[in-house]
Amino acid sequence: MSDRKKKSGKPGGTPGPEGVDAPDAGEAHEDSASASASRTDASAVDSTAPEPEGAGGNAESAAVEEAPKSQTVLREILESSTLVVIMAIVASLAIGGILIVFADEQVREAATYFFARPGDTFSAMGDALGSAYSAIFQGAVLNFNADTFAGMIRPFTQTLTMATPLIFAGLGLGIGFRAGLFNIGAQGQLLIGATLGAYVGFAWHLPWGIHLIVAILGCALGGAIWGFIPGFLKARTGAHEVIVTIMLNYIALNLVAWLLTLEAFQREGSDNPITPIVDETAQYPLLLGSGFNLHWGFVLALACAWGVWWLMERSTLGFELRAVGANPHAARTAGMNVSKGYILVMVIAGALAGLAGSAQVLGTEKVLTTATAGSLGFDAITVALLGRSRPVGTIMAAILFGGLRAAGPTLQVQAGLPVDIVFVIQALIVLFIAAPPLVRSIFRLPAPAHEKEVAA
Amino acid sequence: MKNTIRFGAIAAAGALALAACSSAPEEEPTSSATGGTETEAPAESVDYKACMVSDQGGFDDASFNQSAYEGLQRAAAELGVEVAEAESTAESDYGPNLDAQVAAGCDLIITVGFLLGDATATAAAANPDTHFAIVDFGYDEPIENIKPMFFETDEAAFLAGYAAASASGTGTIGTFGGINIPTVSIFMDGFLAGANYYNEQKGGDVTVLGWDGAEGSFSGDFEDQTQGQNITQGFLDQGADIVMPVAGPVGLGAASAIQADGNSWLVGVDSDWTQSAPDYADIVFTSVLKQISNAVFDTIEASMAEFTNDPYVGTLENGGVGVADFAEGTVSDEVVTELETIAAAIMNGEIEPSTAG
């Protein structure tokens, strides 16, 4: 490229008519045999024309680099996966809107006499969309109808509360993904972590402060043990982690179901499979006082996110893990211990999933049941993928999903819509994220990378 | 790129056209005039709002959430109360769902299942002016504004067990549950006790497979019909000819195994299975009824006048539990008379319809 520019620079010295340049441009065209190349070349020629003599060389090349640079920045923004992610969310909400319209009873009722009075249908559609999106906003971000400031911001704190377990588990899964392990086992790891933590929480009675720490460590340990098993099997026997972790999810669920039939895990005088409430000393303290559910687990989750960032980006171990993920054979050849890497990744991921369990049993729910894990372990996979396995991305994705979950009750109660809409929107987001070209073509975003003919 | 857009545009236009078409035919059968008046004049409404929160199963669980929801819908239709419902999809939804309903001004909030016990108690303490009711759960200490609702299903299952024991040709009957929790095992307790009572009274030797009063056969969840089919097939292979699955939709698996066998019977639970599972109506021996829907309806109706926190206990006496009609030709008139006597004895406490002790 630079070679060619110099070439065109020379004749630029003579303030000649276009005719002089023409053969040169033609030559370039032949050289590259590509339309795009000739176009850039032509613009380079144009810009050189008014340039005074002598100054030619340096100033000109600087100018040439300057102009595309600003373009590149813009293009990078447009091409960036972040924009695709945001647009995927927008598209999902829009499609969700279509479903909302059809799920609404008034719309369906009005649609039966659409041709008699179409206005009814449209106003019903407008009402449905308005109430649905305002319910989502009021449920997840700000409630304008509240009388007090606390009431107004409560939804957002609820979003953060819902996001907490997803951050923990998503971080753990993200580490696995970057190390090349597709860990499906967050569900089981979470459940075992929650079991151990909850047991410490209700069966042991320790002093304030120590109790919480021990219970948190219990959660992490439980998850770590459940993560160690597939890591160890993968490292030693080559057993595929996807299959092993899925199976361990079932084992964890049934193990917990069995434990909950034991007296030791049940409340006194009751046979229901639900543990006693964990001691207050073992619960995460509330972060913003009793009016909010947000607890210190959220802060711990942020701290873990920083820790994961440091581990993966700054530490030697993180470099090794990433190397293992990129190419295990090369990593082995370079003298890295791949087996150790697999085990470590699964143990860390398990511990983080266990901490997600702590957000449930020591934070919001305070009891253990077979339903403790909900679908958190699987939602966390989506969160990690949506966040591109990076800590900040995971936090953002978790907050997004937490918000959608937090909006569920208002969506149902206020707007009278089925909560399934939330899951459809979540699923659509995943669908769009998985197909970036689809999003780009919908929003006419330039394609990424090397082919630069798009602009013009 | 351009082709994609063009294609997209055509697809979108096509979709719109299709959508317009689909709304057109609907317009013709229902006259526009009735459509208009229907929206303008809703059912007579009263100033009372009844709300409901499901547990994780959701309102379409073909089990107690669904029954409770039907009760709520009936109240909306017949009593004209305003209703709102919130389906929980995770444990962490319970509290927020309850909060949202309190904020929406519900007068009575009904929660379904023991899993919501804590969340309901918390919400009740925080909102003393709102009334609550909970299905299938009771508190050790009564709470001022919560009405517990539970069902002595063992009373009805006792009758079914007695009848099944009398009708069994092989001398073996079976029962299995979804998960070993009290609301499930209470059915099995009654069924076993009924069969044992038959043995005691008639000197019979009927064996009950799948439950011994503490341990038994469980499918592990309330979803896997194949599992229900396998367990039932196991019972049939051991000679059982009447099986009672207490596992919600898993029971449909049991029904298909029994139908394939051709020579055995099913005892339905919760609702009358000749109605709720009409495909299998010809193999239903009887059903052990648990009238959650009626209880919810009655609770809403009663609470509109005056709320009390007295527990609602569904029994044979008040019709909260019961047995459906027996399949024709399976139970002799003599046994029917005996069952009436037994029912009376259960009502006045002479017979304890559970195996405990």
Q: How far apart are CA B221 and CA B249, in angstroms?
A: 10
Quick check: B100 and A441 CB within 8 A? Answer: no
Q: Would the CB atoms of A412 and B4 count as touching at under 8 Å?
A: no
pLDDT of residue B2: 52
- pLDDT at B303 (0 to 100): 92
- Give the length of chain B: 357
Burial of B184 (0-12, 13-18, 19+ CB in 10 A): buried
The residue type of A27 is: E
> Is residue A436 in some structural domain?
no
Residue A7 has pLDDT above 90, yes or no: no
pLDDT, tens only, A247-304: 999 999 999 988 998 889 998 877 888 999 999 999 999 999 888 889 999 999 999 9
Taking a C-beta distance cutoff of 8 angstroms, is the pair A13, A4 a contact? no
- Chain A contact set for B97 (CB, 8 A): 408-409, 412-413
Q: What angle do CA A160, A165, A170 make, to 5 degrees?
A: 105
pLDDT at position B144 over 80: yes
A166 and A130 share one domain? no
Answer yes or no: do A175 and A43 share one domain. Answer: no
Tell me what percent of chain A is helix, strand and coil, each rounded to the nearest 5: 75, 0, 25
Whether A44 maps to a domain, the answer reads yes
Paired tokens of B162:
């007695």
Identity at A222, one-letter amino acid code: G
- Asked if B92 is an interface residue toward chain A (Cβ–Cβ < 8 A), one would say yes
Nearest CA in chain A to B93: A409
Cα B102 from Cα B160, distance rounded (Å): 41
The residue type at B175: T
Is the alpha carbon torsion for A261, A267, A272, A278 positive or negative? negative
Please check whether residues A402 and A334 belong to one and the same domain: yes
* Complex-level ipTM: 0.71
Task: Reply yes or no on whether the pLDDT at B269 is more than 80.
Answer: yes
Whether residue A234 sits in one domain with residue A120: no
Helices A18-32, A2-13: inter-axial angle, 10-degree rounding: 170
Between CA A260 and CA A268, with CA A265 as vertex, the angle to 5 degrees is 115
Please indicate whether, in this complex, the C-beta atoms of A412 and B99 are within 8 angstroms of each other: no
Together in a domain, A87 and A203:
no
Whether residue B12 lies within 8 A of chain A, CB to CB, comes out as: no
Number of domains composing chain A: 3
The C-alpha of A419 sits at a distance from chain B's nearest C-alpha, in angstroms, of 7
Contact residues, B window 122-181, toward A, CB-based 8 Å cutoff: 137, 140, 179-181
Collapsed DSSP state (helix, strand, coil) of residue B89: coil
| Whole-Å CA distances, B340 to A251, B198, B269, B275, B337 | 47, 14, 20, 24, 5
pLDDT for residue B16 is more than 90:
no
Q: DSSP per residue over B5-18, as a string?
A: HHHHHHHHHHHHHH
- If asked whether residues A22 and A122 sit together in one domain, one would say no
Are the C-beta atoms of A366 and A377 separated by less than 8 Å? no
Q: Does one domain contain both A135 and A249?
A: no
User: Domain spanning B153-290+327-347 has what CATH number?
Assistant: 3.40.50.2300
Which chain A residues are Cβ-neighbours of B55 within 8 angstroms?
Answer: 371
Same domain for A246 and A110? no
Q: How far is CA A378 from the centre of its chain?
A: 13
Chain A residues with CB under 8 Å of B89 CB are: 374-375, 408, 419, 423
Indicate the residue type of A151. G
Is A69's pLDDT higher than 80?
Answer: no
Residue B243 binned pLDDT confidence (cut-offs 50, 70, 90): very high
> Are B35 and A116 an interchain contact pair (Cβ–Cβ within 8 Å)?
yes
Q: By percentage, how much of chain A surpasses pLDDT 90?
A: 44
CATH class of B49-151: alpha beta
How much is the pLDDT for A363? 93
Chain mean pLDDT for chain A: 81
Q: Is residue A437 part of a domain?
A: no
Q: Can you give the pLDDT at residue A344?
A: 94
- Burial (CB < 10 A; 0-12, 13-18, 19+), residue A205, is exposed
3-state secondary structure of B285: strand
- Coil, strand, or helix at residue A123? helix
The full DSSP string for B258-269 is HHHH-S-EEEEE
- Of the pLDDT bands very low, low, confident and very high (cuts 50, 70, 90), residue B14 is low
Q: Give dist(CA A235, CA B13) in Å, integer.
A: 54
Write down the pLDDT at residue A77: 53
Phi, psi of A271 (to 5 degrees): -105, 5
Chain B residues in contact with A418 (beta carbon < 8 A): 87
CB pairs under 8 A between A and B: 130
CA B322-B324-B327 angle, to 5 degrees, is 150
CB contact under 8 A, A112 and B27: yes
* Parent domain of A390: 156-416
B91–chain A Cβ distance below 8 A for any pair: yes
SS3 A170: helix
In a domain, A313, yes or no: yes
Q: What mean pLDDT comes out for the span A105-111?
A: 78
Interface test with B, best of A99, A112, A267 (most B CBs within 10 A): A112
Residues A4 and A131 in one domain: no
Pair (A272, A238) in one structural domain: yes
What average pLDDT does the segment B240-248 reach? 92
Closest partner residue to B104 (CB to CB) among A158, A413, A441 is A413
When pLDDT is averaged across residues B35-61 and rounded to a whole number, the result is 70
A87 and A196 share one domain: no
The answer to whether residue A341 is domain-embedded is yes
CB A294 within 8 A of CB A359: no
Candidates A325, A304, A321; CA nearest to A313 is A321
- Residue A86 counted as domain residue: yes
Contact A272 B97 (CB under 8 A): no
Phi and psi at residue B265, in whole multiples of 5°? -130, 160
pLDDT value of residue B271: 86
Q: Do B95 and A369 touch (CB under 8 A)?
A: no
Q: How far apart are CA B158 and CA B144, in angstroms?
A: 33
Which CA distances in Å does B94 have to B35, B115, B221?
37, 9, 21
B-facing residues of A in 151-210 (CB < 8 A) are 158, 162
Nearest to B204 by CA among B171, B240, B253: B171
> Of A110-114, A407-411, B305-309, where does mean pLDDT reach its minimum?
A110-114
d(CA B251, CA B178): 9
- Shortest Cα–Cα distance, B348 to chain A (Å): 26
A121 close to A111: Cβ distance less than 8 angstroms: yes
Q: Are A113 and A218 in a shared domain?
A: no
Is the sign of the CA dihedral A302, A308, A313, A314 positive or negative? positive
Q: Which two tokens stand for residue B196?
A: 């044992």
Instruction: Please give the pLDDT value at position B331.
Output: 87
> Are B32 and A277 in contact (CB < 8 Å)?
no
Domain assignments of chain B as residue spans, ordered by start? 49-151, 153-290+327-347
